[in-house]
Amino acid sequence: MKENLKQISPVIWEIEKGVKSFMNTPARVFATEEMLPQITKDRTLDQLVNVTSLPGILSHAIVMPDAHEGYGFPIGGLAAMDLDEGVISPGGIGYDINCGIRLLKTQFELDDIKERIPALAKEIYRAVPSGVGKSGRTVLNEKEMEKVLNYGCKWAEQEGYAEEYDLRNIESGGYLESADASAVYQNAKGRGRDQLGTMGAGNHFVEINYVQQIYDENIAQVYGLHTKQIVIQVHTGSRGLGHQVATDYIRKMVSLVPAYGINLPDRELSCVPISSPEGKAYFAAMCASANFAWANRQIITWEIREAMRSVFGKSMGQIDLLYDVAHNIAKIEEHIINGEKQKVMVHRKGATRAFPAGHPDLTPEFRSVGQPVLIPGSMGTASYVLTGMPGSMEYSFGSTCHGSGRLLSRTAARKRIRGEELKQELLSHGIEVETSSMKGLAEEAPEAYKDVESVVDVVEQAGIAKRIARLKPLAVIKG
Model confidence over 399-416: pLDDT tens digits? 999 999 888 888 888 988
Identify whether the C-beta of residue 426 lies closer than 8 Å to the C-beta of residue 379: yes
The pLDDT score that the predictor gives to residue 138 is 82
The pLDDT score that the predictor gives to residue 162 is 97
Identify whether the C-beta of residue 400 lies closer than 8 Å to the C-beta of residue 388: yes
As a whole number of angstroms, the distance between CA 387 and CA 384 comes to: 10
**Domain boundaries along the sequence of the chain:** 2-407+449-478
- DSSP conformational letter for 127: H
Q: Is the Cα dihedral 370, 207, 325, 160 positive or negative?
A: negative
List the one residue out of 210, 213, 204 whose CA is nearest residue 237: 204
pLDDT at 125 over 90: yes
41-45-48 Cα angle (round to 5): 150
As a whole number of angstroms, the distance between CA 120 and CA 113 comes to: 9
As a whole number of angstroms, the distance between CA 406 and CA 228 comes to: 29
As a whole number of angstroms, the distance between CA 260 and CA 272 comes to: 7
The pLDDT score that the predictor gives to residue 387 is 98
Residue 3's pLDDT band (cuts 50, 70, 90): confident
> What b/e sequence results for 271-288 when a residue is b if at least 16 CB atoms lie within 10 Å of its CB, and e otherwise?
bbbbebebbbbbbbbbbb
**pTM, 2 dp:** 0.96
- Per-residue pLDDT tens digits for 10-31: 999 999 999 999 999 999 999 9
Identify whether the C-beta of residue 419 lies closer than 8 Å to the C-beta of residue 439: yes
Active site residues: 402
Beta bridge partners of 388: 356, 465
pLDDT at 74 over 80: yes
Please give, one letter per residue, the 3-state secondary structure of 261-312: CCCCCCHHHCCEECCCHHHHHHHHHHHHHHHHHHHHHHHHHHHHHHHHHHHH
| Cβ atoms within 10 Å of 187's Cβ, excluding its own | 13
Average pLDDT of span 318-333: 97
List the one residue out of 233, 242, 358, 251 whose CA is nearest residue 304: 233
Helix (H) or strand (E) holding 428: helix 419-428
Higher-confidence position of 299 and 133 = 299
Residue 446's pLDDT band (cuts 50, 70, 90): confident
pLDDT at 331 over 90: yes
List the one residue out of 38, 84, 105, 83 whose CA is nearest residue 374: 105
The pLDDT score that the predictor gives to residue 362 is 97
- Per-residue pLDDT tens digits for 362-373: 999 999 999 999
The pLDDT score that the predictor gives to residue 12 is 98
The pLDDT score that the predictor gives to residue 453 is 96
List the one residue out of 235, 233, 231, 232 whose CA is nearest residue 202: 235
Residue 314's pLDDT band (cuts 50, 70, 90): confident
- Per-residue pLDDT tens digits for 126-135: 999 887 766 7
pLDDT at 254 over 90: yes
Q: How many residues does the chain have?
A: 479
Please give, one letter per residue, the 3-state secondary structure of 321-368: EEEEEECEEEEEEEEEECCEEEEEEEEEECCEECCECCCCCCCHHHHC
Helix (H) or strand (E) holding 122: helix 117-127
Out of 3.90.1860.10, 1.10.10.10, 3.10.129.10, 3.30.1330.30, select the CATH number for domain 2-407+449-478: 3.90.1860.10
List the one residue out of 326, 171, 323 whose CA is nearest residue 237: 326
Average pLDDT of span 95-113: 97
> What b/e sequence results for 160-181 when a residue is b if at least 16 CB atoms lie within 10 Å of its CB, and e otherwise?
ebbeeebbebbbbbbbbeebbb
The pLDDT score that the predictor gives to residue 364 is 94
* Inter-helix orientation angle 142-151/277-312, to 10°: 100
Residue 307's pLDDT band (cuts 50, 70, 90): very high
Q: Is the Cα dihedral 158, 163, 168, 169 positive or negative?
A: negative
Q: What percent of the chain has pLDDT over 90?
A: 87
| Cβ atoms within 10 Å of 255's Cβ, excluding its own | 9
Identify whether the C-beta of residue 124 lies closer than 8 Å to the C-beta of residue 307: yes
The pLDDT score that the predictor gives to residue 412 is 87
pLDDT at 317 over 90: no
pLDDT at 158 over 80: yes
The pLDDT score that the predictor gives to residue 1 is 74
Q: Which residues contact 250 (CB under 8 A, 6 or more apart)?
A: 90, 91, 270
Average pLDDT of span 92-109: 97
> What b/e sequence results for 219-249 when a residue is b if at least 16 CB atoms lie within 10 Å of its CB, and e otherwise?
bbebbebeeebbbbbbbbbbbbbbbbbbbbb
